[in-house]
Structure 1
Amino acid sequence: MKVLIVDDEPLARARLQRLLAHYPDYQHVVQASNGDSALQQIKQYAPDIVFIDVDMPAMSGLEVAVQLNKLPIPPAIIFVTAHPEHALEALQLSAAGYLLKPVTEQNLAKTIEQLGRLTRAHVQKQRPVTISFQLGGVTRSVALEDVCYVMAEDKYTRLISTSGEALIDQSLKQLEQAYPTQLLRIHRKILVNQSRLVALKRAEDGSHVVVIKDCSCLLPVSRRAYKTVKEQL
């Protein structure tokens, strides 16, 4: 599972990452030192679990959690703090766990045990995400997990899924903002479903393309998006 540690104290971040190293399922760890950086990391990295300090300057962990809960598929949130009085607020924000500083091996083990299967995949199963569109005057929808990619075409956006194609009114920008952890921009005119990314290849002309699961075509990757796409794979 992918983990994000958010804390304005470098030593606290390092300690928690060191403790997480004992758990084989928690090896993909990135860090953020403040709320703004955390939101950027979440958009780019799409973590399954976020360990976040409550007391941070500018934007608190509670404020970040409010933003995360607006996502179609929020990560599991575990608050880390030296102040137990924040526990009630954490519960109101549907926190998956609550760790008191200094974090000990025993407390972390207990929290991870309680966390169980509460991962991004579990939340997605509970709350299926769909994209709605008009077709022949009738509102239809397609499960986001079935979407292969969306491409800008003139005034419309073409959505390609495992069940076919459709022209939708939402722009790429609107879709990118609505599903920041599911749809990845690989080109100024193309967003792909991150969960369907299979491979990144070099074409004969030196450019790069991606292979998408259940999609026969190869999609171009811009030089600007190349690094981000490579990191996702």
Structure 2
Amino acid sequence: MNVLIVDDEPLARSRLIRLLTHDKSIVVQGEASNGKEALVLAKKQTPDLIFLDVDMPGMNGLQVANELNSLTLPPAIVFITAHPEHAFDALQLSAAGYLVKPISEQSLQKVLKQVGRLNKVHIQKQQNVKISYQLAGTLRSVDINDVLYFSAEEKYTKMIFCGGEALLEQSLKQLELQFPTHILRIHRNTLVNKQKVIALHSKANGNHMIELQGCSELLPVSRRELKLVKNSL
């Protein structure tokens, strides 16, 4: 389970990371010290679970949770607070649970078991995302996880996937909006599956190319999208 920790107190983050290292199924992807940083990392890393401090200066945890819940596949959220009265607010925001500081290993394990049950549903949703297309008058579909990339082809969009290709009527922009957690734009004419990215190659002439798992060709990265691509890797 991939985890993001959000708390404005460095010591609190360190303690939670230390407690989480006892569970080998947990991977701490990153830390954030404020709400804005949390939203950037959440959209970039798409974690399964976020431990989110309620009391932070600027954008507090409840405001961050509202933003996270609007994502296509929002992460599970466990609120962290020194004030138990925030529990009601947490439940209203469909939180998977809450922890009261100082966090004990016992309370953490109890919450993780609860999140594990909820997360199975979350993972199932991710696995069931499919894209439909027409082939010889027959409606077919392909799992988003099997897609390599999309490229603009005149009035259509070409979809390259494991074992074939197809033409779609959706534009690249429409696909970006439909699958924001799965797709990365590398060029005005190209979107790639984030999960298929192996490496970003720099050429002697200053150009950059993306290498995808299962794809024999390297795809060009535009200068305009280079920074975003680097941040996503």
> What TM-score range do you get, normalising by the shorter chain?
0.7 to 0.9
Alpha-carbon offset, residue 56 of structure 1: 2.5
The 1-side partners of 2:150 and 2:20 are apart by 37
Give the equivalent residue in structure 2 for 1:104: 104
CA contact (8 A) 1:134 1:168 kept: no
Alpha-carbon offset, residue 99 of structure 1: 0.8
1:124-173 Cα deviation digits (max 9, x unpaired): 4146334467889998764322322122345554333345222333333x
1:204-223 Cα deviation digits (max 9, x unpaired): 86744333344343222346
CA contact (8 A) 2:135 2:166 kept: no
User: Unaligned stretches of 5+ in structure 2?
Assistant: none
Q: 1:187 to 1:28 in 2, by over 3 A?
A: farther
The residue type equivalent to 2:73 in the other structure is I
The 2-side partners of 1:218 and 1:117 are apart by 40
* Matching of residues 155-166 of structure 1 within 5 Å: 156-162=156-162, 163-166=164-167
Give the equivalent residue in structure 2 for 1:211: 211
Give the equivalent residue in structure 2 for 1:125: 124
Q: 1:227 to 1:23 in 2, by over 3 A?
A: farther
1:24-73 Cα deviation digits (max 9, x unpaired): 33243311122221111111122121110122233232222222222222
* Matching of residues 1-233 of structure 1 within 5 Å: 1-116=1-116, 118-119=118-119, 122-126=121-125, 128-131=128-131, 142-154=142-154, 156-162=156-162, 163-172=164-173, 174-201=174-201, 207-222=207-222, 229=229
CA contact (8 A) 2:98 2:111 kept: yes
Deviates more, 1:56-65 or 1:38-47: 56-65
Does the residue aligned with 2:47 lie in a helix, a strand or coil? coil
Q: 1:39 to 1:141 in 2, by over 3 A?
A: farther
CA contact (8 A) 1:158 1:168 kept: no
The 2-side partners of 1:117 and 1:193 are apart by 27
Deviates more, 1:184-193 or 1:215-224: 215-224
CA contact (8 A) 1:62 1:90 kept: yes
Alpha-carbon offset, residue 107 of structure 1: 1.5
Deviates more, 1:63-72 or 1:35-44: 63-72
Q: 1:146 to 1:50 in 2, by over 3 A?
A: same
CA contact (8 A) 1:17 1:29 kept: no
Alpha-carbon offset, residue 22 of structure 1: 2.8
CA contact (8 A) 1:81 1:99 kept: yes
Query: % of aligned pairs identical?
Result: 53
The 1-side partners of 2:225 and 2:24 are apart by 30
| Corresponding residue pairs, total | 231
The 2-side partners of 1:72 and 1:129 are apart by 11
Alpha-carbon offset, residue 182 of structure 1: 1.4
Tell me how large the CA RMSD over aligned residues is: 3.2
Does the residue aligned with 2:18 lie in a helix, a strand or coil? helix
